[in-house]
Structure 1
Amino acid sequence: MTVGEPTVAEPTVVAVDQGKSGTRAEARVESGASVHGAAPGLSLARGSELGSTGADAVVDAVASLRLPRPPDVVSVGTTAAPESQDARRELAAELRARLGAERVLVTEDAVTAHLGAFRGAPGVVVSAGTGAIALWSDGQTCARVDGWGPILGDHGSGVAIGGAGLRAAFSAMDGRGAPTSLMESARRHLGGLGLDAARRLHAAANPTEIISDFAVDVLRAAEEGDQVAGAIVARAATDLATSAALAARLSLAAGEHPRCCAVGQLMRSPALRSAFTERATELGLVVGPAPAGSLAGAMFLATTGPPPAFAALVGVAAGARSRLPGPLGAR
């Protein structure tokens, strides 16, 4: 820098990861330090409205960072991302206006999970939470499998595991199914194990969340040796591994052994992780831990821009490019 040349401040970059359980934000400020914030997620039980885009929670999460000035770049990975790129651009434009940011990027959390795991390199990521989705990329193109919601898909998800566990409990009560410790767990979870409990579940505003929350009980029972729960977990592991293999079918058909990471709250269960790893390995995938999560993936997206494989899955709203040098200012 020559004498008298004005100092250019380093851009403030914010990454946001939004799911059912919460909205997390991280900012990298001029000093190089990281600042963290949070806001509620997209759970109906926690106050989110049905069909919400999550924009309010994103704004609240960024506000919780207490930045001295509006951020330059905000990158959002959210389970509520609209399907089309045009709709994602519209959401990005809304957030840009509300946050005062120079540039906002919006994509689905499966993309940021992949970027956190592979940073644009080839591989397949399985995300297993309330829902389930597999996303593969060879670095230039991508393919997704599942993520269709609990009615049409989400094989191996929290809803699938929790629903199978509740059905097993009621079947055991009827004498149709094998005895299982899930009966008592279901009784506690639903406040009973009879017609009133069944009616309350069907009439609830958020039955999907109630069912998905029971997955924790099923996973715990499997780890404690309950055979019925163990069979449910084994089926879920097979379903998730199958989704990963289907997403990576082009790579597998070429004789390759693509890298695979499984992420999400369900994968904290040793029983599910072990069964998934075994089945995915049998299908030709090389399973390993994800070096970073979705929040790190959102930060990678903010600082490098959309990789070629995911460019069509990212909605971008940007202003003048002069303020942001390099990839931060690329459209």
Structure 2
Amino acid sequence: MSHQPPPQPGGRPEAWTTTDRFSPEQANALAQKAEITQSARNAYIAAHVVSDATAEQQIRQLLARILQTGRLALKQSGCRARSHKADGEGDDSYTFILDRGCRRVIKYSGPPTSWFDKEIRIPVGDLLAMLDERRRKELEAERRKEHQREAQEQRQEAHEQRMRTQRAEAEARRAAAIPAPAWPLLPPGQAYDGNGQSVPLPSPRRPIRDESTIRRVGRRPYVLFHADALNSPFFRNVAPEKRHEAIRKVVDKLLRAPTKGQVVVGPECITVTGQKVTFTLTPDCAMVRSLNPPRPGNNAPASYRADRWKVPRSKERE
């Protein structure tokens, strides 16, 4: 029997922990060698009105039987051995409390009728056979449940694989529906500054959530432009070396006033929409990520016209 830590003072009462039954050899040897305390012997004598010698003999026989066939549990203070339900009377059972090492019988309790006076007493061998059969059925039930669980996991995995395949096929169809760009493209995956020079992608900074701050910061000269935005179909008629100027005008005009562009702050990006244009900013407004990405079936997307994106000059102070 394994050692368990002592109960914590002031905590909850220690619970019984179920443990395995003894083999016939172990049970018989323990029952014959265990010391029976006088309190346990007196409780048995008072319950069944037998002599001291008879109580000694019956306690050892019944204890050997219960250790083989009954319900055993442990806690730090000792071991509890209850008779099998087939040996008891209704919900009442013959119970022995032993010390932790099972060397002393400390306490006895049970139904008024002695087990040795019962009309029907199942032989130990038959009761053990019943227990073995029950255990076999329990193991079979556990194996069936495990097989069902594995089958369910396999079905779930097959379903998820089908869904992944369907999503990949749908993505391939969408990609096929978008024709390859026929206009010149800047190298993808790069960022460009306000002079059209390639620069490293900016490191993320603290997100900006206030709209007025977004409108002010998003129009500053150091804001970068991703190649995905510069290669947008919106700029298909603009030469690559002039696209940074064109996108600067678009961003400046839509961020200049709420009447021009609507700002929506999301968890992953900031979206600005107006005048048939939608572009996204990084949460820190350091870079324009995309602008009017191509859509399947849109054969005539909007196109940049310089005369529509003139930014009014600020009036000089007198």
Structure 2-normalised TM-score? Answer: 0.18
Structure 1-normalised TM-score? Answer: 0.17
More helix by share: 1
Looking at CA atoms only, which structure, 1 or 2, has the larger radius of gyration? Answer: 2
